[in-house]
Structure 1
Amino acid sequence: MKTHVKALVVGGGAVGNGIAYHLARAGWDTMLVERDELTAGSTWHAAGLLPLFNMSYATTHIHKYSVDLYKGLEAETGLNAGFAVVGNLRMAQCQARMDEYMLYSSVAETAGVYHEFLTPAQMKDRWPLLRTEDLVGALYHPQDGYINPADVTQAMAKGARQFGATIERRIQVNGYRWTGSEWIVSCARMVEQGGNLVVSDDTFEITAEHVVTATGNHAQRTARLLGVKLPAIPVEHQYIVTEPDPALVAWRKAGNPEHPVLRDADAKWYVREERGGWILGPYERNAPARFLYDVPQSFRADLFPLDLERIEAEYMSMIHRLPSSETVGLKDDFNGPICYTPDGNPLVGPVPGLRNMWIAEGFSFGITAAGGTGHYLAQLMTEGEAEIDMASLDPRRYGQWITTEYSARKNEECYEHVFILHHPDEEREAARPLRTAPVYDRQKALGAQFGQVNGWERPIYYGPKDAPEDFDHNARSFRRGAWWQYAVDEARAIRETAGLIDATAFTKHLVRGPGATQFLDWFTCNKLPAVGRINLTYALTPTGTTRTEYTIVRLAQDEYYLVSAGAWTDYDGDYLRKCAEDKAPEFGHIDIHDVTTQWGVFALAGPNARRILAEIVKDAAPETVLSNKRFPWLTMRNIELGMVPVRAIRVAYTGELGWELHHPIEMQRHLWELLLKAGEKHGMKLVGARAQNWLRQEKSYRAFGNELGRDATPLEAALDRFVDLSKAFQGKEAMLAHGIRSKCCTLLIDGPEDCDPWGKEALLLNGEKVGRLTSGGYSVAFGKQIGMGYVRPDLAEVGTKLKVKMMLQEWDAVVVEDSPYDPSNARIRMDG
């Protein structure tokens, strides 16, 4: 057996074999080790469904790649993967569900996923066993279906071997040790005793340059061995198999085709044919998380007892939808562990704090994702980046604040929400509130409705304080929800008077030391600011795409305060620290501290912002301390507001005169009360994140995770003014080599009266897809919809007329100049 390889994959399920296959195909010397037999984990009892449906752009690409790959595996390996391309029918009992499908349609179109819409009559004509009179319609994917999980796993394993990979079974990994250049992986052979696997005395080590863990239900053990936290915990998933249904048997004997995989999303189940009967898989309430700390050594290809009472409602709804199944008995049942994460996306990418350690954990749809995950993770590992932005799957999107209890409760919620309407404005309630700013209770008392970002509660809008009993703050919609008018009023206040936004969730890092200046000059693409000034800049990946957006405040000659997006604290911090460690021998010592929880942030913006601050600022000349002469745009000053020392930064993400007020978080309540009192007579309104998101689009301010990501360069994002090509910086040559593949632009849209774009929509020209939106919303300045997105470079010119596809209709859109609201920035620079 080999003891030294380029890449070691730990875990022999579908995901692990998909990774081994693609790493070997890329030319890496690869070994896979599995503690039991291939497919012994969740793979063996998976239903094998291959749904293309997904609201995530990245995950849609992953699923599509898998489906396409599996169709060609037999020709490549000689093994039939058991792919039944029967299609996938998602039924809708209500218009809201159809609205969800129409929004998904745009995501699918941007990713090239074929789909159709069917009426109830069309469904009944094709599949007469279905009851359809109470349906509104359906979404149909004719190109997917289901596959045999064991067969597809073995096919990828054979493909991996054909490319030179080694696969070893009955080997358990017991430890990892990094030498500075490679991993020493402690292993032990597993032996069978009395039907159980036990660890033998045969121990040995494998040396690997890179390690990938795909350990499925054993993710918590993996996390402990690595000394990290991973929110991947299994949840029970039940499905039942019926005896043959005579009506179905007669249907097939008559020469009719197999039914597609049926999904009655409003009833929360899927059904497919199985040997003349049906498989019913529900996603019910109260399915418990399992193996919160470890999988028992005795648990192999085992199952839990069935809990039929828990799925009674879903079982009865299947009988309603397929009346012929009412008299059919149960033949078999399965209740096994399926791993989940709090947001339903798997954890794919580098392990925080560790070098050359990669994970692929937390797959609730592992069979569907296995091939695509292997493909894109192999690109990350072998080429430095994938062709799609993988940030939404990155393990570092979760911080080290997560706990076992948090992960378990959120994963149970995620399971229950598999078929609950996925509104773009949804805010799930489990494990909340958890991370709160000191003024949380006061904001709540003033009508704040909260969303969460990286666990932080932040106001997304302020509703009525004394709402009537029948007012539903949580009413969600794919059109304009109950919150929409409140967000309009808040956005208008910032444009006309002033607004106060809680931005405490911002990520903040302090970077200082003898090597700080040289490092940051290399790490970011813009000029560094002078002491007391700020710059907007970007850290690039080595492949030249955008890795992180920073506002850099220079506090001293070798001391910098970096502010970035609140959702990405560990994602940004891990990359920052690793790059600094790499460059320290060249540039000198660099200290990096995450100070996110030490500083609260209020953003005050609007024409009256200066007047409000003047009411509470303490200075020898309060009438001039906030003037353009003493406090110009894009500068930082240490000021005092009441009794609070404030690091005031003259920027505003909304495009109005404004300041970010960074303050010691323990003094936040005092500052809050001062600002409310001072702002009252100047028309100040409390403002949430949704209005802020609209306003930043009127200024064409790019947002990380939307316009900015690892699939586009800053030049493609049309951020040339923030790129200093006269200096050397990480990724510069690669950025220039990319050229301009697509271009970011802002569009004004003449859309429907009851709906705004969400940033998932396709952009069309003469019926052909030419780009996609990455942000969307409503513009109070222009009284119409607004969006930002990427199009072919030749179509990014001002005045280009395109179409935006919303709710299956095409709506007029026109490319406008960057910052269509106040393009000269006169309002931001306003003096007084």
Structure 2
Amino acid sequence: MADLPSRARVVIVGGGVIGTSVAYHLTRLGWTDVLLLEQGTLSCGTTWHAAGLVGPLRASESGTRLVQYSAELYASLEAETGLATGYRNVGGVVVARTEDRMVQLRRTAANAVAYDLPCELVSPDRAQELWPPMRVDDLLGALWLPGDGKVNPADLTQSLARGARQRGARIVERVRVTGFPIAGGRVTGVHTDAGDVEAEVVVNCGGQWAKALGDLAGVTVPLHSAEHFYVVTEAVPGTHPDLPIMRDPDGWTYFKEETGGLAVGGFEPEAKPWRSPDDLPYPFEFQLLEEDWEHFSVLMEQALLRIPALEQTGIRKFYNGPESFTPDNQFLLGEAPGLRGYFVGAGFNSVGIASAGGAGRALAEWIVAGEPQDDLVAVDVRRFAPFHGDHGWLRSRVSEVLGLHYAVPWPNRELESGRPQRTSPLHATLAERGASFGARMGWERPNVFAPSLDYTWGKPSWLAACAAEQTACRTDVAVFDQTSFSKYEVSGPGALETLQWVCAADVDVPIGRCVYTPFLNHRGTYEADLTVTRSGADSFLLVSSSATTVRDLDWLARHDVPATDVTESYAVLGVMGPRSRALLSSLSADDWSEEGFPFATSRPATVAGTSLRATRMTYVGEVGWELLVPADAALSVYEAVSAAGATDAGYYAIESLRLEKGYRAFGRELTPDYGPAEAGLVFATALKGDKDFLGRAALEEHRAALAAGGARRRLVSLVVESPDPMLWGGELLLRDGVAAGQVTSAAWGETVGSSVGLAYVRHDGPVTADWLAAGGFEVDVAGERHGVRLSLQPPLR
């Protein structure tokens, strides 16, 4: 029986590479009273059979910085701990068989420039020089990534563990956690088969067991295991220890040198789910599953095509190791909503080794500071709701998600499995009217009224339909089903006081006024972007984005704001356009005039015989109202609005319309890496007054720093001078041929007649209207440069 302490400040559950990294980084930050518990021995679960690839360049800057730190740590860790990690900076080659893949590689190369990472597009012949064992006659080109590396996962885990021990952490193996005591909404420790341990913080780094551990605490950890395959071959001519990693995504395969041979693995298009998360075996140490050559054959056929020498090469070992995947292919990090002190670091989707260093540091910083210190929105555990924890749904989704690792990352790609989950009262009617749907937070939402969603880097077939929807909204009237909006009610004697602290804008307004406001953190950067309507003396209605329900409610609860989620109680119909006033007047006896119903006003109204709340607010930049309708009456109101002449329109049109007006979006322009000063939204805060609010001091510093000059980033609107290119967001921005920023959001703007967007531009001095007007700006669209006009003002005012 293990000898456990009666308490520890932090208990980490799971001794794989993630758990040891969290322990290592906590001790580096000075939290030395750390206990790590492993049910077997270190690295015995998923870590030991990982391929050990470390590729820093990711799709986002925050993701890139995270893995970049991992690589730097792995290269230096041996000098600190005395244990080698096996890290070698060997570089990486990514090859392309198709033009669509080449477009992706060109866009990736531009990302590398934006993130200041070395990267080079090379010819097939040059690719073969870098990676001699492969054939290249069917390739169009390749990408050379000098910063890629490889590491020995088990050695890395042991080195991180030693580093943690050297600063006081205690690691105990062969202790299984069986439950979590909870009191007053906080976790207070762990139950184990060797006794109980009290703790202030518990960190669930249980790998594929993390979901079952979450279930024990009532925490949703949505992941499901799939069988994951690779083989190690006998010696292959041309291989050596410093051979770069090679990826052939069109063949779903990757290759790295392994003791003179090759590790050959991949991500087949349709994965093979393993056992349910609540039915995983124990013990399960350093174990593999049965060989499945039939399922692996799709990968092996592609490997033989790329490396002919494999036809005469034997196989040393077949690895079939289960690995857990999340519903959206991003890992899970952060403090669980509804349970203080319970943190999660799991679901790393085959990028756990590459991510472990940066993720461990990010989670440790979150634990110590009490909130994230970087933009972790894409991996925040709060992006999922309890219904995402359904085992059957996860099983259906994992088959698709694993297969998308090497699929072409099409813009606006919608996952297809496990749908629908949530539908608005209008769903069936809109489907009959030709809507093509996407999904956000489980909600089915009309993207565009067109036969299908085709994926392309250029202009899609549905663009004409979307353009017509935009025109209808700009010149006539359109109706949008925005039921998926998150909606919360805050009421009671302390409602105003608590909201005044959390909201950066002043929400002490007359009843019936609507205020646009951010939630800021202590660093003065964004945690949410929403509207607050004062519906009574002590009551407020908050309307936020679809994807942030759990995140927003958790943020409010952490700051003692008692909120009730009423999202599913109401549908929302956006009636927008210059004829919206006339249309609503024809269906209602209420006063919809400019004088009678000014902008930012919200009040009860009756439309088509239905009592509802109408709010004069717009995200498309036209006169219009958001109608908050009881769910059971939504269809009748929609049918009346439609019969009165409103054109059906979807979220793709909203995206285009909001960008023509320069409206920002949380998660893209507004993130925990940026504040209102950089985003140009100081006017949406109470900084000019004397109201105190969360993040005010930091925001004042940001504004002063911008005013003082020096290097900074500033959000600007962007219009492409030519109507030819299609922008999707993420493109590199240049000034006089030098990297100057990156596009955050982009879409086709029908009114402007070209692609429009928003971008954060970098400059070593003030970003002024004159500096922007001086020009010299271009955008890199898959290697082709097009002139753009930048402005602090939106294209349409």
Which TM-score band (shorter chain)? over 0.9
Q: Is the 8 A contact 2:104 2:782 kept in 1?
A: no
Indicate the residue corresponding to 1:209 in structure 2. Answer: 200
Write the distance in 1 (CA, Å) between the matches of 2:501 and 2:593: 34
Indicate the residue corresponding to 2:252 in structure 1. Answer: 268
Aligned AA for 1:43? T
Q: CA deviation at 1:264?
A: 1.1
SS of equivalent residue, structure 1 residue 326? helix
Within the candidate set 411, 419, 424, 1:437 is matched to: 424
Within the candidate set 408, 411, 414, 2:395 is matched to: 408
Q: CA deviation at 1:814?
A: 2.9
Q: Is the 8 A contact 1:58 1:392 kept in 2?
A: no
- Taking the TM superposition and a 5 Å limit, the aligned residue runs for 1:26-37 are 26-29=29-32, 30-37=34-41
Aligned AA for 1:380? W
Q: Are the structure 2 counterparts of residues 184 and 273 from structure 1 closer, same or farther at C-alpha, using a change threshold of 3 Å?
A: same
Within the candidate set 290, 295, 302, 2:287 is matched to: 302
SS of equivalent residue, structure 2 residue 277? coil
Q: Are the structure 2 counterparts of residues 765 and 795 from structure 1 closer, same or farther at C-alpha, using a change threshold of 3 Å?
A: farther
Q: Tell me the percent identity.
A: 34
Q: Is the 8 A contact 1:384 1:542 kept in 2?
A: no
Q: Indicate whether 1:760 and 2:739 are aligned.
A: no
Q: CA deviation at 1:523?
A: 1.2
Q: Indicate whether 1:714 and 2:700 are aligned.
A: no
Indicate the residue corresponding to 1:685 in structure 2. Answer: 647
SS of equivalent residue, structure 2 residue 382? helix
Q: Indicate whether 1:600 and 2:543 are aligned.
A: no
TM-score, structure 2 as length reference: 0.94
- Write the deviation string for residues 485-513 of structure 1: whole angstroms up to 9, x where unpaired: 22222112211112111111000000000
SS of equivalent residue, structure 2 residue 559? helix
Indicate the residue corresponding to 2:686 in structure 1. Answer: 724
Q: CA deviation at 1:87?
A: 1.6
- Write the deviation string for residues 628-657 of structure 1: whole angstroms up to 9, x where unpaired: 122111101211111321211111110001
Q: Are the structure 2 counterparts of residues 394 and 257 from structure 1 closer, same or farther at C-alpha, using a change threshold of 3 Å?
A: closer
Indicate the residue corresponding to 1:587 in structure 2. Answer: none
Aligned AA for 1:480? K
Write the distance in 2 (CA, Å) between the matches of 1:112 and 1:70: 20
SS of equivalent residue, structure 2 residue 532? strand
Within the candidate set 593, 601, 607, 1:627 is matched to: 593
Q: CA deviation at 1:554?
A: 0.9
Which deviates more, 514-523 or 801-810? 801-810
SS of equivalent residue, structure 1 residue 716? helix
Within the candidate set 674, 678, 698, 1:734 is matched to: 698
Q: Is the 8 A contact 2:426 2:481 kept in 1?
A: no
Indicate the residue corresponding to 1:375 in structure 2. Answer: 361
RMSD (CA atoms): 2.0
SS of equivalent residue, structure 2 residue 788? strand
Q: Are the structure 2 counterparts of residues 126 and 548 from structure 1 closer, same or farther at C-alpha, using a change threshold of 3 Å?
A: closer
SS of equivalent residue, structure 1 residue 697? helix
Indicate the residue corresponding to 1:352 in structure 2. Answer: 337
Aligned AA for 2:27? A
Which deviates more, 724-733 or 98-107? 98-107
Indicate the residue corresponding to 1:511 in structure 2. Answer: 490
Q: Indicate whether 1:554 and 2:518 are aligned.
A: no
Write the distance in 1 (CA, Å) between the matches of 2:471 and 2:261: 59
- Taking the TM superposition and a 5 Å limit, the aligned residue runs for 1:34-53 are 34-53=38-57
Aligned AA for 2:597? F
Q: Are the structure 2 counterparts of residues 457 and 608 from structure 1 closer, same or farther at C-alpha, using a change threshold of 3 Å?
A: same
Q: Is the 8 A contact 2:53 2:149 kept in 1?
A: yes
Q: Indicate whether 1:150 and 2:154 are aligned.
A: yes
Write the distance in 2 (CA, Å) between the matches of 1:511 and 1:523: 12
Indicate the residue corresponding to 2:224 in structure 1. Answer: 233
Q: CA deviation at 1:181?
A: 9.8
Q: Are the structure 2 counterparts of residues 107 and 128 from structure 1 closer, same or farther at C-alpha, using a change threshold of 3 Å?
A: closer
Q: Is the 8 A contact 1:287 1:416 kept in 2?
A: no
SS of equivalent residue, structure 1 residue 301? coil
- Write the deviation string for residues 237-266 of structure 1: whole angstroms up to 9, x where unpaired: 011122223xx1xx35xxx77432121101
SS of equivalent residue, structure 2 residue 790? strand
- Write the deviation string for residues 112-140 of structure 1: whole angstroms up to 9, x where unpaired: 33221111121234434311111111122
Q: CA deviation at 1:764?
A: 2.7
Q: CA deviation at 1:743?
A: 4.3
Within the candidate set 806, 809, 819, 2:781 is matched to: 806
Write the distance in 2 (CA, Å) between the matches of 1:753 and 1:99: 19
Q: Are the structure 2 counterparts of residues 59 and 330 from structure 1 closer, same or farther at C-alpha, using a change threshold of 3 Å?
A: same
Q: Are the structure 2 counterparts of residues 211 and 640 from structure 1 closer, same or farther at C-alpha, using a change threshold of 3 Å?
A: same
Q: Indicate whether 1:96 and 2:100 are aligned.
A: yes
Write the distance in 2 (CA, Å) between the matches of 1:411 and 1:811: 39
Within the candidate set 454, 457, 471, 1:492 is matched to: 471
Aligned AA for 1:493? A
TM-score, structure 1 as length reference: 0.90
Write the distance in 2 (CA, Å) between the matches of 1:235 and 1:311: 13
Indicate the residue corresponding to 2:11 in structure 1. Answer: 8
Write the distance in 1 (CA, Å) between the matches of 2:185 and 2:699: 28
Q: CA deviation at 1:233?
A: 1.7
Write the distance in 2 (CA, Å) between the matches of 1:665 and 1:103: 43
| Runs (5+) with no aligned partner, structure 2 | none
Write the distance in 2 (CA, Å) between the matches of 1:181 and 1:634: 37
Q: Is the 8 A contact 1:745 1:818 kept in 2?
A: no
Q: Is the 8 A contact 2:90 2:245 kept in 1?
A: yes
Q: Are the structure 2 counterparts of residues 765 and 383 from structure 1 closer, same or farther at C-alpha, using a change threshold of 3 Å?
A: farther
Q: CA deviation at 1:183?
A: 4.4
- Taking the TM superposition and a 5 Å limit, the aligned residue runs for 1:660-679 are 660-679=626-645
Indicate the residue corresponding to 1:259 in structure 2. Answer: 243
Q: Indicate whether 1:388 and 2:391 are aligned.
A: no
Q: Are the structure 2 counterparts of residues 796 and 406 from structure 1 closer, same or farther at C-alpha, using a change threshold of 3 Å?
A: farther
Indicate the residue corresponding to 1:22 in structure 2. Answer: 25
Write the distance in 2 (CA, Å) between the matches of 1:107 and 1:645: 50
Write the distance in 2 (CA, Å) between the matches of 1:474 and 1:694: 16
Indicate the residue corresponding to 1:576 in structure 2. Answer: 556
Within the candidate set 816, 819, 828, 2:791 is matched to: 816
Which deviates more, 543-552 or 11-20? 543-552
Aligned AA for 1:759? G
SS of equivalent residue, structure 1 residue 432? coil
Q: Indicate whether 1:244 and 2:238 are aligned.
A: no
Q: CA deviation at 1:668?
A: 1.6
Q: Are the structure 2 counterparts of residues 335 and 458 from structure 1 closer, same or farther at C-alpha, using a change threshold of 3 Å?
A: same
Q: Are the structure 2 counterparts of residues 410 and 498 from structure 1 closer, same or farther at C-alpha, using a change threshold of 3 Å?
A: same
SS of equivalent residue, structure 2 residue 733? strand
Q: Is the 8 A contact 2:717 2:794 kept in 1?
A: no
Within the candidate set 267, 273, 276, 1:288 is matched to: 273
Q: CA deviation at 1:538?
A: 1.2
Write the distance in 2 (CA, Å) between the matches of 1:123 and 1:222: 45
SS of equivalent residue, structure 1 residue 613? helix
Write the distance in 1 (CA, Å) between the matches of 2:262 and 2:400: 27
Write the distance in 2 (CA, Å) between the matches of 1:485 and 1:52: 38
Q: Indicate whether 1:483 and 2:450 are aligned.
A: no
Q: CA deviation at 1:561?
A: 0.4
Write the distance in 2 (CA, Å) between the matches of 1:410 and 1:478: 25
Write the distance in 1 (CA, Å) between the matches of 2:420 and 2:162: 48
Q: Indicate whether 1:776 and 2:762 are aligned.
A: no
Q: Is the 8 A contact 2:243 2:257 kept in 1?
A: yes
Q: Is the 8 A contact 1:37 1:169 kept in 2?
A: yes
Which deviates more, 367-376 or 803-812? 803-812
Within the candidate set 592, 599, 615, 1:649 is matched to: 615
Write the distance in 1 (CA, Å) between the matches of 2:15 and 2:409: 32
Indicate the residue corresponding to 2:298 in structure 1. Answer: 313
Which deviates more, 799-808 or 421-430? 799-808
Q: CA deviation at 1:410?
A: 1.4
Aligned AA for 1:89? V
